[in-house]
Amino acid sequence: MQEERSSFPPTAEATVEDLQQGSPIPEEDVVSNPSEASTEPQLKKPPIFYVSEENLSRTYPDNHRTPHLSRSTSLDHPPARSPIFRIGIPPPEYASKPTLISYYSQDSQEEGDLATPSVLFPSMRLLVAALLSCCFIALSISSSNMAVALICMTSCPIHGYGGELEWESDQEGLVLAAQNAGSLLMVVTGMWADRINGKWMVGMALVLCTLANAMLPLLAANSFWYAVAARLMIGMADACLMPAVNSLITRWFPQKERAAAIGIITGGRQIGTLFILPTAGYLCTRKDIKGGWPAIFYLSSIISLIVGIFWLPMGADKPSKQYCISRKERLFIESRIACESIGKRTEARRVPWNNLLKSSPLWAAIFALVCHEYPLVIMLQFLPNYMRDVLEFAPAKNGIISAMPILFLFLSKTIASSVSSWLETHTTWGKTKICKVFNGVASAGLALCTFIVPFCDKDRAVLAIAALSMSMFFAGLHTPGVITAMVQLAPPFSGIITGISFFIVAWFGIGNKILTKWIVQHGSQQEWAVVFYVSGIVAALPIIVFSIWGSAERQWWAAPSSRTSDSCCTMSGDLKNPSTSGSQDSPRFRCLEFFCGIGGFHIALKRICKRIDVVGAFDINTTTNAIYSYNFPTTELHQRNIQSLSAKFLDEKNADIWTLSPPCQPFVKKGLQLDLGDARCDALKCICDRIRVLNKPPRFIMVENVVGFRDSDAEQMLLEALEARSYHHEWYEINPLDYGIPNSRPRYYLLAKLTPDAVLSGKYLERWGSQFPQQIKDILCTDAAESEELLISVDTILKHRDVIDLVEPRSFRSSCFTKSYGTYIKGTGSYLVSNVPASHETLEFEKAHFLQIAAGEDKLEAVQRLGIRAFSVPEMCSLMGFEKDLRQPPNIMQHQMYKALGNSVNIFVVCHMLTRFTAGMSDSESSSAGDVGEGRLASVSVIRDTGTKVQLTLKAEGLRKRKSFFAALVSTFKKPSEPSKLCSNARFTEFTLTDRSLKFTINVLNLRGNKKKKGNERREEVFKCNIKQFPSRVNPDSATFEIMEPASGNCFILMNLIKVDNIMTNWKEFQSMNGTIDASTV
């Protein structure tokens, strides 16, 4: 049965990508039909969460206003069970998804905090796009004016018009080709574009255009070579402008806006051409205006000067340098492009020349660009000559008619860019597929229309003009095709790529102009037919090349190779050589996150072991990547297909740990269950292949997926790959309910280790008991409880009364939250009954009670009194174990957070699973024990903190049980009243637990297998833990302990403490405070 659809949260324009691999987290919500949404259940108001300024100021100083989710510690108010979020409703004008024209980010909205946007330009991105478009207008006018001016500058017997300059056809070709020769400088300026301020490079281009156009009329009459020099300067201006603009685009516009931005910006070329062609044709006939043709260049110079006057004070290299931009928009831009790791221009960056020059997608894009520009040069530079020679148009009419194909080019690229952005937002097409489709249609249509032109003479002038116009219309489709793909390949090196690409284009442009002038000696129709046939053949070539090797995905080698943050300095360190940030006794461990999602594994790893560095994360989902990069800005995040990761690349990472959460769609019960037949399994297949051939395989691998992954062909394939490399593995089916967490989320976990002392394979844990299960009320947020925006309307509740899952604050469970929570009602998660009826104050409110109320006569009022609402994002974070470790980026909406959390991992469970790994992460696995009686500190980690209970993990190395104890997986016991036996070779010699402190000592008899050396037979180690003061009082009589099966000589004791004060305190950070705890990480 199809799920009943709800309109909570309000739908907004978003992207749904077909995840062929990567995290199972989908991109964003699908835009629903407004007409359908009007009949569906709705909330009263669309909720938008943002962090309040008072919380920011309370936690951070003014110079460091990073959003922080504070907790309430006041005893005068009800305790907050999760991070405090203030609820706010966006103004109607900002209710839509951020675009180039309108934007809204979930940042602080305190009065006076943000700059007021301009009335004319509510988005500074639109202003920057308009300014850059004007720069292209000036450049296009300077580039195209010579095509018409040559007609009236040089002799022309047609219509009795004679020019002042006697230039041969070859000389005219050299003048036109000089501009392309100047563009060769682009290979140098492209390297500068990513290192120096783009604003000044654009300004330099405008200066060159101004000077060159002013010089040319004055010097051209004296010598032909002066004209060549002036046109050379125009080419140099193009060499400065193009790389700088592409570099600015990557810093000003998020990925989804770039196609539209490129269309607006590069549309200036066509606007300039549309303006100058008819204007130049008119000025040619008006010798009373500065002699006719010289006025063309003077006008071009004045336009370049005017654009420069506007650009210099209003342009900016990046949002942080634009003094007029609002804080909202700046945060929106910076958060959206954060995952691309573009970095600062002054940052030392090693260009990966070897990978760049060997990149097939890059060379496919360059080839397509050359084939696109070749016929375009014919149309822009020689179209007036063709109309003069074959169609026999007079100069004034020639300029007007020559502008018509350019008009079609401008319209098509503008429309196509908008359509491309719409397709990326509203369909499952990926960026690469969109670019290939547009580029293929463009090449085919351009080639076909170009082949028609040679069949037209002056008697079929209308058909010729129509064919030329349509060819330019198809040429405009290259903008969302290869032009956009080239910018997306490597944003940090966009200037260099632009320089290399247009350097090659410039060489072909020079050859094109010289070849065309060599072919067209007399201006006959047969000569021009050869020119158009060659252009048509060249235009058709990208249909094959770009469709096979082209790509619009960011390439793996495009990530910066250097980092400046301290946390990233350890990423390049070897395990045998400890990081300089730690002690010599504390080596770092390196981890790779595949299908990283929003970073659930990252958070769990950091909680379990502080010495783990995530040296790489991989996912293709832009929304989850934005969340990930916002929370872990120093981690190297790769937005790329996992299939593209070579074994050599993975060996270079030299990771100790791999975490994987492959797409679950091939294994879910409600799906098609295609298993390995699903394309979304291709990434897992690739990982299995890499495991078999790696020279440096990881020591630990952890896989998380739905329960349906068990006994699947994919699991069998993975196990075969692990066994081929002698991995020891174990698997679990665990539900958070087994830990006392009030949320059902059964999942499959696979742990694999290379070390020979790994535990046995098989299904070990089905339930880890907890004497004090948590209730829903422990995670409820006070602000959410008082908010009306999360309430579900009565009509919605009654319509879905048979399928809606209801819980109340005293409940010990809630349904699994899925990616569709808030969009659908059935099977997507539980909804909370805020106001339990008085008749059920001592009895848990159940579904049967609700159905009884919903069937009564006064059901509308009775249901409304229940206050049924959705769980807020912070509450869901608490249930999933993220708590304050996960922050919501300003540009990510609530429904996107629901999707991301609904497909993420449960941090509580993953932490417990990862302790099986951290057992093997001792400082020195081969080191011998110390002397008898030597004391060693035990490790203490806080796993969970609620208003009523805190859960600690105590870790001590060397507590090894005999094999006969392997069957006893978990032992649970009360606080020992006297020193007691812990396991076969360890015992408590001291144990003191009070309401404020904990002190214990464990003596371990370490039996050594090697008896050749004297003193190795029996050694006793002493482990000590001394927590001098808890942040809040606990009840020592209610404490329970769970001893977890030791692995690699380590023992983990899970300790549950009931808090007397029943308030939220900072247990997670208390161990780092001086004088509070005398225990360090082992």
What whole-number distance in Å separates Cα of residue 640 and Cα of residue 253?
20
> What is the C-alpha to C-alpha distance for residues 607 and 935, in angstroms, rounded to an integer?
25
Asked about 664 being catalytic, the answer comes back as yes
CA distance 806 to 814: 8
Q: By C-alpha distance, which of 869, 864, 859 is closest to 822?
A: 869
Catalytic residue among 449, 664, 681, 781: 664
Q: What distance in Å separates the CA atoms of residue 587 and residue 589, rounded to the nearest whole number?
A: 7
**CB under 8 Å to 516, separation ≥6 — which residues?**
173, 378, 382, 531
- Is residue 782 a contact partner of residue 72, using CB atoms and an 8 Å limit? yes
The rounded distance, in Å, linking the Cα atoms of 879 and 812 is 12
675 Rama sector, left if φ>0, alpha if ψ -120 to 50, beta otherwise: left
Beta-carbon contacts of residue 62 (< 8 Å; ≥ 6 apart): none
- Between the alpha carbon of residue 71 and those of residues 68, 400, 418, 783, 1030, the distances in Å are 10, 69, 44, 12, 18
- The SS3 call for residue 995 is coil
Nearest-angstrom CA–CA distance, 132 and 124:
12
Q: Which two tokens stand for residue 274?
A: 């549309």
Question: Which neighbouring-strand residues pair with 1056?
Answer: 951, 1040
Cα 879 from Cα 782, distance rounded (Å): 15
Kindly provide the b/e burial profile for residues 432-460, where b requires at least 16 CB atoms within 10 angstroms of the residue's own CB.
bebbbbbbbbbbbbbbbbbbbbbebeeee
d(CA 1032, CA 682): 50
Give DSSP secondary structure letters for 232-273.
HHHHHHHHHHHHHHHHHHHHHS-HHHHHHHHHHHHHHHHHHH
The single-letter DSSP state of residue 325 is -
Contacts of 670 (CB under 8 A, 6+ apart): none
CA distance 117 to 195: 30
User: Please, are residues 660 and 595 in contact by the beta-carbon 8 Å criterion?
Assistant: yes
Task: Write out the two tokens for 940.
Answer: 């203490």
> What phi and psi, each to the nearest 5 degrees, are found at residue 203?
-60, -40
b or e along 601-613 (b: 16 or more beta carbons within 10 Å of the residue's beta carbon)?
bbbbbbbbbebbb
Query: Is the bond leading into 90 cis (omega within 30 degrees of zero)?
Result: no
Give me the sign of the Cα torsion angle 502, 503, 508, 512.
positive
What is residue 795's three-state secondary structure? helix
Q: Let me know: does 824 contact 817? Beta carbons within 8 Å.
A: no
Kindly state the tokens that stand for 316: 């900016």
The SS3 call for residue 711 is: coil
The Cα–Cα gap between 729 and 718 comes to 11
Q: Calculate the alpha carbon distances from 563 to 488, 566, 625 in Å.
A: 22, 8, 19
The count of residues in the chain is 1082
**Residue type (1 letter), 109:** Q
Q: Which tokens go with 196?
A: 């120096």
The DSSP letter of residue 823 is T
CB count in 10 Å sphere of residue 353: 11
Catalytic sites, residue numbers: 664
